[in-house]
Amino acid sequence: MNAHAPRYRTLDMPGILALLSGLPDIAARLGGDGAQWTICEVSDGNLNNVFVVDGPHGGVCVKQSLPYVRVDPSWKMPLDRTFFEASYLRDIHPLVPGLTTRCLHFDPDLFVLVVESLSGHTVYRTALMAGAQWPRVVPDIATFVARATFGTSVLCAPFEHVFERQAVYARNTTLRRITLDLVLDDPYHDHPRNHWDDRRLDDVVGRIRASCTVRRVVDGLRLRFLTCPQALLHGDLHTGSIMATATDTRVIDGEFAIYGPIGFDCGMFVGNLVLRRFADPSPDAGRACVHDIHRFWNGFVAEFTRQWATAHPTPSDPSGPCAFFLPDAADASSRGERTPGPSQDPLQDLPPGRAAFLRAVFEDMVGYAATEIIRRIIGYAHTADFDVIPTHEARTVRRRAALVFAYGLLCHHGTHDGVNAAFGALAGQGEVE
């Protein structure tokens, strides 16, 4: 089936159970014997087969990549994506132990990944669509992104170590190509993978595509996506890659992991918060969305700078050549140890070099949020957010408003001085247009 993986075969449910029976650690975690285990397919994404297996003691989640796209078997694809997801979990789990799942097993011949199962957790997008208001998710994701990116960057480890990791993820070309094409390229010109179901979006799409500014900004984002390996990214951090309860948040589905600009992960998350807001245009939703973006960005900055301050505490102890932008002796106090309120600029008290670094992350965040919004409405892979809207008419109105908003973000890219400037308008009364 696959020339590079002669032992590979797509496992059915009995095959999965047989595989797990042969893995003593997993079998012990499930408890009892195989006859007492239940298995249930939970695949709801585009790419892979996913199963949850439960035993008397506990459960695991099993993911196997297929030699094609699950929802479109004519689209062939190499199997290695679960390898990158397993590597990602191994690399970041120590940095964010309570915010993702542990990799329990990876089979390099079958491309099967086994992780802890999350029972009682719901995919965050689904929860949002059902009206959940879980206060932990946004700050948890802020912490997740800050720790997982800082901890895999040259800001915290010698470049020799970072480059070794980078070389691994440099081989995740299949999924990098998908993001490059589907997120950052196709939507900006005619391409058969694009689609939208109402001609009344055509004029906005036309305006976006005709704008020289948009084209230049998106080209810049596309180029940074390829040439700015600041840290290890999740690479697909939308609200469907988060499973949560009211009190616990876990990031799943790290198969798109690559080195890239930190603002890419931030922007994909924020873009999906914004999509949610346009699917529910009540003033409350608007205010909550802006509040969430503030909490996300402030939380990210607070945690990132806290990590930075801890890695290289004082100018007199620079710990070798990987200390960047140390605070001046004069202000080497306890900066970065405090989360500013939503109305304050979280960068204002930072050492200037660190503020400039994070200002560039902010710009990337805004840019990638806009491209995420656009591709989710006119590109290949839409999101379910708008499905809760009862009429076709209303769905079009709100999708249109989201496109217009994203278009504005791109037109003014680089000039937004903080969250309010870029996203404040989302808190406006009633329908946004």
Ligand X SMILES: Nc1ncnc2c1ncn2[C@@H]1O[C@H](COP(=O)(O)OP(=O)(O)OP(=O)(O)O)[C@@H](O)[C@H]1O
Which parts of this chain interact with Mg ion (CB under 5 A)? 253, 255
- DSSP 8-class letter at 387: G
**Helix, strand, coil share (%) of the chain residues, nearest 5:** 50, 10, 35
Could you say whether residue 227 binds a second copy (CB under 8 A)?
Answer: yes
- Residue 34 or 220: the one with the smaller Cβ distance to a second copy is 220
Q: By CB under 8 A, which span of 54-62, 151-159, 198-206, 241-249 interacts with a second copy?
A: 151-159
Which residue number, 229 or 379, has a Cβ lying nearer to a second copy? 229
Q: Which of 223, 246, 421, 425 binds a second copy (CB under 8 A)?
A: 223
Helix or strand or coil: residue 380?
Answer: coil
Which does residue 326 bind out of Mg ion, a second copy, ligand X, none, counting CB within 5 to 8 angstroms by kind?
a second copy
Ordered DSSP codes for 174-214: HHHHHIIIIITTGGGS--TT---S-GGGHHHHHHHHH-HHH
Pairing of strands 68-69, 59-64: unpaired
Number of residues near a second copy (by CB under 8 A): 40
Query: What tokens appear for 185 in the block?
Result: 């390229």
Q: Which of residues 325-364 bind a second copy (CB under 8 A)?
A: 325-326, 328, 351-353, 356-357
> Cα–Cα distances in Å, from 170 out to 226, 231, 233, 238?
10, 12, 12, 22
Alpha helices in 283-417 (DSSP H): 283-311, 352-378, 392-411
Contact stretch for a second copy (CB under 8 A) within 17-25, 84-92, 123-131, 175-183: 175-183
Q: Quick check: 322 binds ligand X (CB under 6 A)?
A: no
Which of Mg ion, a second copy, ligand X, none binds 193 (CB below 5-8 Å, type-dependent)?
Answer: none
Residue from 110, 183, 244, 252 binding ligand X (CB under 6 A): 252
Task: Examine residue 66 and tell whether it contacts ligand X (CB under 6 A).
Answer: no
Judged by CB under 6 A, the stretch of 16-24, 248-256, 314-322, 402-410 that binds ligand X is: 248-256
Q: How far is CA 66 from CA 16, 77, 169, 241, in A?
A: 14, 8, 20, 19
Residue 82 and residue 86: Cα distance in Å, rounded?
Answer: 6
**Residue 69 C-beta: closest distance to Mg ion, Å:** 11
Cβ nearer to a second copy, comparing 32 with 318 = 318
